[in-house]
Amino acid sequence: MADETYKGEFYCVKCKEKREAEGKVVVSENGRRMAKGQCPVCGTNLNRILGKA
Protein backbone atom coordinates (compact mmCIF):
# COMPACT_ATOMS: atom_id res chain seq x y z
CA MET A 1 0.00 0.00 0.00
CA ALA A 2 1.51 3.28 -1.09
CA ASP A 3 0.56 6.42 0.86
CA GLU A 4 -3.18 5.85 0.98
CA THR A 5 -5.40 8.69 2.22
CA TYR A 6 -8.96 8.82 3.50
CA LYS A 7 -11.22 11.83 3.05
CA GLY A 8 -14.51 11.79 4.89
CA GLU A 9 -16.21 12.14 8.25
CA PHE A 10 -14.41 11.76 11.54
CA TYR A 11 -15.93 12.24 15.00
CA CYS A 12 -14.11 14.84 17.09
CA VAL A 13 -14.27 13.91 20.78
CA LYS A 14 -13.30 17.42 21.89
CA CYS A 15 -15.87 19.28 19.74
CA LYS A 16 -18.42 16.44 20.10
CA GLU A 17 -19.34 16.79 16.41
CA LYS A 18 -18.68 15.04 13.12
CA ARG A 19 -16.12 16.86 11.01
CA GLU A 20 -15.00 16.53 7.38
CA ALA A 21 -11.25 15.93 7.31
CA GLU A 22 -8.50 14.15 5.42
CA GLY A 23 -6.09 11.67 6.98
CA LYS A 24 -3.50 9.02 6.28
CA VAL A 25 -4.47 5.35 6.35
CA VAL A 26 -2.33 3.17 8.64
CA VAL A 27 -2.59 -0.46 9.72
CA SER A 28 -2.84 -0.99 13.48
CA GLU A 29 -1.10 -3.76 15.43
CA ASN A 30 -4.18 -6.00 15.31
CA GLY A 31 -4.52 -5.71 11.51
CA ARG A 32 -7.24 -3.08 11.25
CA ARG A 33 -7.00 -0.15 8.84
CA MET A 34 -7.35 3.22 10.54
CA ALA A 35 -7.45 6.76 9.19
CA LYS A 36 -5.61 9.34 11.29
CA GLY A 37 -6.15 13.05 10.78
CA GLN A 38 -6.58 16.38 12.57
CA CYS A 39 -9.71 18.32 13.42
CA PRO A 40 -9.86 21.46 11.25
CA VAL A 41 -11.51 23.44 14.09
CA CYS A 42 -9.63 22.55 17.31
CA GLY A 43 -6.59 20.61 16.04
CA THR A 44 -7.27 17.43 18.03
CA ASN A 45 -6.04 14.13 16.57
CA LEU A 46 -8.86 12.16 14.93
CA ASN A 47 -9.08 8.40 14.35
CA ARG A 48 -11.53 6.39 12.28
CA ILE A 49 -11.51 2.61 12.05
CA LEU A 50 -12.01 1.49 8.44
CA GLY A 51 -11.93 -2.32 8.70
CA LYS A 52 -9.61 -5.26 8.23
CA ALA A 53 -6.58 -4.85 5.96
Q: Write down all domains in the chain, each with its CATH number in brackets.
A: 5-52 (2.20.25)
Q: Which residues contact 37 (CB under 8 A, 6 or more apart)?
A: 6, 10, 21, 22, 23, 24, 45, 46, 48
Q: How far does CA 31 lie from the centroid of its chain?
A: 16
User: Residue 34 burial by CB count (10 A; 0-12/13-18/19+): exposed, middle or buried?
Assistant: middle
Model confidence over 2-52: pLDDT tens digits?
Answer: 579 999 999 999 999 999 999 999 999 988 999 999 999 999 999 999 987
**Partners of 44 in beta bridges:** none
**Band of residue 53 on the pLDDT scale cut at 50, 70, 90:** low
> What's the predicted TM-score (pTM) here?
0.80
Task: Give every CB contact of residue 43 below 8 A, 6+ residues apart in sequence.
Answer: none
